Amino acid sequence: MYPLLFRTVLSRLDPEFAHHLGALVIRVAGVEPVASVVRRATAPGPDQSVQALGLTFDSPFGVAAGFDKNVTMGRGLGALGFGHVEVGTVTALPQPGNPKPRLFRLIADRAVINRMGFNNDGAAAAAARLRRLRRARRRPVIGVNIGKSRVVAVEDATTDYVRSARLLAPLADYLVVNVSSPNTPGLRGLQAVETLRPLLTAVRDAAGRTPLLVKIAPDLDDDEVRDIARLAVDAGLAGLIATNTTISRSGLTTDAAAVAAAGAGGLSGAPLKERATEVLRLVREVVPAEFVVISAGGVETASDVRERLAAGATLVQGYTAFLYRGPLWARQINRGLSHTR
């Protein structure tokens, strides 16, 4: 039913508007008594539980950052069967993001290009919503992804991240430093080891007991991936997320003129699958077994999740395929995982 709805209706809507419509449905799914009914049909089986970061994840599969930027869909996404929800990216200061249009579907590639620019209501608003979410009777594990405020100079980035960490870490199950979005000027430069080390150290200290992870780009070369993974271990982080969106446009099926018309931004979805898996394996080669590695990028099916787990992922995240597979996506993956365990 959803594929027909997507082809005939949703694909004709502006992608960002369609996302907001979907968010309304998801929020309804998190409100009782609807949530109890939905959960009975979507909940992962007990065989899917994962212990990581000192937490219990009902499923290894969760929602990547970017889907729930403003901490409004946590209960609904949990009811739909996701084992964790990574909210954000949240910045210390509220910001509108980049001018619209800024989200584009590449349907032939099952992909999306976005240049959202960390549009969000800011850390104070996120903190208030996280407090309410933590009081919920049923909720998934909640990670909080933090980024640099656009108006803050790159040289002042550490202070900006620390401000967010102090406010949000006490309310998060885990915290993520995002230095890999292509949509904030200068941000990816923070992935250089000599710059990243003091930033991660300062945020780790601000986060206190909350597990801290760093999220990296797929466009790093292999040696850079290994170096950052080693740094994350040396800095005492709990884990690493591989990967964010890519600035590459290679290997796409979509007409080149349409891709060019979409313009700059991060590409996500099926075309990222191969590189995301490669980066996962590179990271796992150089980190201890107990170090948490979350794999994201190009995940669509239960088979994809199993492949990432076999390649060394502790947990797996998705986002883009939600647009193409609909609200029962997590249920499909959870059922697929149960049938093979």
Active-site annotation, residues: 181
Query: Which run of H or of E encompasses 145?
Result: strand 141-147
Instruction: Find out whether the peptide bond into 201 is cis, omega within 30 degrees of 0.
Output: no
Non-local (6+) Cβ contacts of 153 within 8 A are none
- Decide: 27 and 72 in contact? Cβ < 8 Å: yes
Q: What is the rounded distance in angstroms from the CA atom of residue 294 to the CA atom of residue 292?
A: 7
Dihedral sign for Cα 150, 155, 161, 162, please: negative
Tokens at 177, concatenated: 């430093």
Q: Shortest CA distance to 323 belongs to which of 4, 8, 10, 1?
A: 10
- Decide: 221 and 193 in contact? Cβ < 8 Å: no
What angle, 0 to 180 degrees and rounded to 10, lies between the N-to-C axes of helices 222-234 and 193-207?
Answer: 30
Q: What is the per-residue DSSP string for 59-128?
A: SSEEEPTTSSTTS-SHHHHHHTT-SEEEEEEEESS-B--SPSP-EEEEGGGTEEEE-----B--HHHHHH
Sheet holding 103-106, edge to edge: 103-106, 111-114, 266-269
Per residue, the 3-state secondary structure of 252-283, as one string, reads: CCCCHHHHHHHCCCEEEEHHHHHHHHHHHHHH
Q: Which residues pair with 113 in a beta bridge?
A: 104, 267
Q: What is the rounded distance in angstroms from the CA atom of residue 284 to the CA atom of residue 154?
A: 30
- Decide: 314 and 242 in contact? Cβ < 8 Å: no
